[in-house]
């Protein structure tokens, strides 16, 4: 007995150092949970994988960061992220209220960026851009946003040139939960959101609604408030069902009804309707293989009145998507093969943009892709992929990617990649025949915007290398990326001859063509430090330069050379939580590709902050502010100024 007790005592004494180390690390479970939200992403490789295993730079906006940000729009959630540029402004077309770009070239319609909601493409079939305020998703329904910087066309096809943004909504997972948020503030802003969900072992369902009212921004010349008010209502639903082990069937649907003023002469207005439906099947197999099938439909319709020629115009586009892909690990997990196919049908109509009696313009796309990962050793992997795509608009093209990943030490990851991605012209680029007035030349004098059916894909070639490092027992996460990108046959808008037979007096014409080469160079750096559980700080920096052979200021001067963002999120005593985000931009040229105005914007700092108080579980009161350092500031060439905005509200959760 004594011998047994002595053995047990000896074992306990021997284990004490390990137990002490474990006790010291126990608080670091919060550290693990903090970074675990960010460490896995599905967008980069079309399957859950650590961001260290991505061939490109990946940034994840978690639900905690969304709640701490104080942002009320998707564009504002992206504002302070590394490598992104967000400009608050209205284009001459008047529909989009923000310009979002990855790695430079911010303009009204960013065509090199693929944007998705739950894996469903939301880029417009008209011009391949994104109208951010027209997305039928509210901030309260977003679980996370995954941002891939760099070409990912080998997996996603045309348009995924400078990056991919995937907005992932909240999947119902709790037996019952409900929430209501209401806020109000300056500039006549009001927002109400409500959501309810329920889930059991084999099914779950969630529904959310929101109602938003924004007053107009002040006119930049100090003459009052611009005619850019907004009224928007959204509704969305997400449900899942597990009919068998390993089978997951999801249905997602939503819609937005919107009305807003257009900041133009005569104070015109517009209203629109956007809705979608998606069916998504996931089948997991033994050994880690996965099959996914997704079919979806998206429709967007906008009415403007009076339009540029004094009438009422209707522009409508719709898209059908279907895709299937299979991911298979084999050879003890050292190899993983992903292959698939997708089919897309796009259509658009509109007398104002395509000309009277132009009918419906269509485009069909068929694509197949293959991606292979080879783990040569525990520390070294090679990845490669190819995508072959054919479309009525732009013809056939091939996208590909080759990358290597090296992890010489735990927490240290190096990557290098070479990629080719193409951007396809939209239906507007090919078929436009849009008259626009030229009042400076007199009544009835017009110009015309012309499409070109001979447009071809714009190939983008990218070389980049990066490093990700974790230090201090995972409390500090750092990243560094350098890249060089050039785009051939870039889509331009240049002067052209006026075609015969135009109505009225048409004195000038602009036409789309493929005549330019654009080059982008940049360095991105970021650091995030979890000071202690519930308290974190971050900083990031990007330096970018853009050149092009034609010297278009739209490309060369609109990208700020230096951008710096920093901020913190801190849980405080007495149920308080404070956060702030600050961002700096170098001087840049505000230039619209739907108008001729230009304006040089001086360098500036922007500060957003939020303070929340939770007096009891399930109730939070908060106050938040945006653009706090200036009463107002110009960011774009829309004749408007971005004001200081302060609002307060409450969230109740059950």
pLDDT tens for residues 88-133? Answer: 988 665 678 899 999 988 888 888 999 999 999 999 998 888 988 8
Task: For residue range 358-377, list pLDDT tens digits in order.
Answer: 899 999 999 999 999 999 99
Strand, coil or helix: 326: strand
Evaluate if residue 344 carries a pLDDT over 90.
yes
Q: How far is CA 628 from CA 42, 79, 235, 642, in A?
A: 35, 15, 31, 11
Q: How far is CA 76 from the centre of its chain?
A: 11
Give the pLDDT confidence score for residue 60 in this predicted structure. Answer: 95
Average confidence (pLDDT) over 307-334: 88
| Banded model confidence at residue 447, pLDDT cuts 50, 70, 90 | confident
Burial 217-256 (b: 16+ CB within 10 A, else e): bbbbeeeebbbbbbebbbbbbbbbeeeeeeebbbebbbbb
In sequence order, which residues have a C-beta less than 8 Å from that of residue 14 and are 6 or more positions away?
none
Average confidence (pLDDT) over 389-402: 91
The structural domains of the chain, with segments of one domain joined by +, span 28-653
| Banded model confidence at residue 308, pLDDT cuts 50, 70, 90 | low
Average pLDDT of the chain to the nearest whole number: 89
pTM for this model (two decimals): 0.92
Give the pLDDT confidence score for residue 94 in this predicted structure. Answer: 61
Give the pLDDT confidence score for residue 596 in this predicted structure. Answer: 65
Q: How far is CA 436 from the centre of its chain?
A: 31
Q: How far is CA 216 from the centre of its chain?
A: 25
Determine the topology of domain 28-653 in CATH: Maltoporin; Chain A (2.40.170)
Query: Do 443 and 494 contact (CB within 8 A), yes or no?
Result: no
What's the rounded Cα separation, in Å, for the pair 331 and 201? 33
């Amino acid at each position: 007995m004594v011998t047994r007790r002595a053995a047990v005592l000896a074992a306990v004494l021997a284990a004490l150092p390990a137990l002490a180390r474990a006790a010291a690390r126990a608080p670091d479970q919060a550290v693990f949970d903090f970074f675990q939200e960010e460490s896995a992403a599905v967008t980069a490789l079309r399957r859950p994988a650590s961001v260290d295993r991505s061939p490109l730079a990946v940034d994840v906006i978690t639900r905690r960061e969304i709640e701490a940000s104080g942002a009320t729009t998707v564009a504002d959630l992206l504002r302070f992220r590394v490598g992104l540029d967000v400009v608050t402004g209205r284009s001459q077309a008047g529909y989009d209220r923000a310009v979002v770009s990855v790695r430079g070239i911010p303009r009204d319609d960013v065509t090199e960026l693929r944007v998705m909601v739950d894996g469903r493409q939301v880029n417009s079939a008209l011009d391949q851009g994104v109208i951010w305020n027209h997305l039928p998703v509210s901030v309260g329904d977003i679980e996370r946003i995954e941002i891939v910087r760099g070409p990912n066309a080998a997996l996603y096809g045309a348009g995924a040139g400078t990056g991919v943004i995937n907005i992932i909504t909240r999947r119902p997972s709790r037996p019952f939960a409900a929430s209501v948020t209401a806020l109000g503030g300056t500039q006549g802003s009001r927002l109400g959101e409500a959501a309810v969900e329920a889930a059991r072992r084999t099914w779950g369902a969630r529904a959310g609604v929101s109602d938003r009212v924004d007053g107009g921004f002040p006119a930049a010349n100090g003459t009052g408030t611009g005619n850019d008010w907004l009224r928007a209502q959204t509704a969305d639903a997400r449900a899942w069902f597990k009919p068998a082990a390993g089978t997951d069937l999801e249905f997602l649907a939503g819609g937005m009804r919107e009305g807003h003023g257009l900041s133009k002469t005569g104070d015109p207005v517009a209203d629109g309707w956007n809705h979608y439906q998606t069916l998504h099947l996931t089948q997991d197999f033994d050994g880690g293989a996965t099959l996914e099938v997704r079919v979806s439909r998206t429709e967007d319709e906008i009415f403007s009145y009076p339009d540029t020629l004094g009438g009422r115009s209707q522009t409508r586009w719709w898209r059908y998507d279907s895709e299937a892909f299979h991911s298979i690990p084999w050879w003890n997990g050292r190899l993983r093969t992903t292959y698939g196919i997708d089919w897309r049908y796009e259509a658009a109509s509109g007398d104002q943009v395509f000309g009277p009696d132009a009918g419906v313009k269509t485009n069909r796309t068929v694509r197949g892709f293959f991606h292979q990962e080879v783990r040569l050793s525990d520390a070294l992997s090679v990845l490669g992929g190819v995508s072959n795509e054919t479309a009525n608009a732009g013809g056939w093209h091939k996208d590909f990617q080759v990358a290597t990943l090296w992890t010489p030490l735990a927490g240290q990851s190096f990557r290098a990649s070479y990629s080719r991605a193409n951007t396809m012209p939209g239906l507007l680029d090919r078929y436009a025949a849009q008259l626009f007035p030229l009042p400076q030349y007199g009544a009835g004098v017009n110009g015309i915007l012309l499409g070109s059916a001979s447009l071809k894909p714009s190939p983008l070639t990218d070389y980049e290398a990066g490093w990700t490092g974790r230090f201090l027992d995972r409390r500090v996460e750092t990243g560094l990326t350098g890249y060089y990108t050039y785009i051939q046959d870039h889509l331009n808008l240049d002067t052209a001859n006026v075609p015969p037979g135009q109505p009225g007096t048409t004195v000038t014409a602009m036409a789309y063509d493929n005549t330019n080469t654009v080059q982008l160079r940049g360095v991105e750096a970021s650091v995030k430090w979890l000071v202690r559980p519930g308290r974190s700080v971050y900083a990031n920096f990007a330096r970018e330069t853009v050149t092009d052979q034609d010297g278009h200021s739209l490309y060369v001067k609109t990208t700020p050379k230096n951008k710096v963002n920093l901020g913190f999120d801190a849980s405080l005593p007495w149920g308080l939580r404070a956060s702030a985000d600050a961002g700096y931009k170098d001087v840049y040229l505000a230039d619209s590709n739907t108008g001729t105005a230009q304006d040089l914007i001086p360098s500036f700092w922007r500060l957003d902050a939020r303070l929340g108080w939770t007096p009891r579980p399930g109730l939070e009161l908060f106050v938040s502010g945006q653009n706090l350092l200036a009463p107002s500031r110009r960011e774009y060439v829309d004749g408007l100024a971005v004001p200081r905005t302060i609002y307060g509200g409450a969230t109740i959760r059950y």
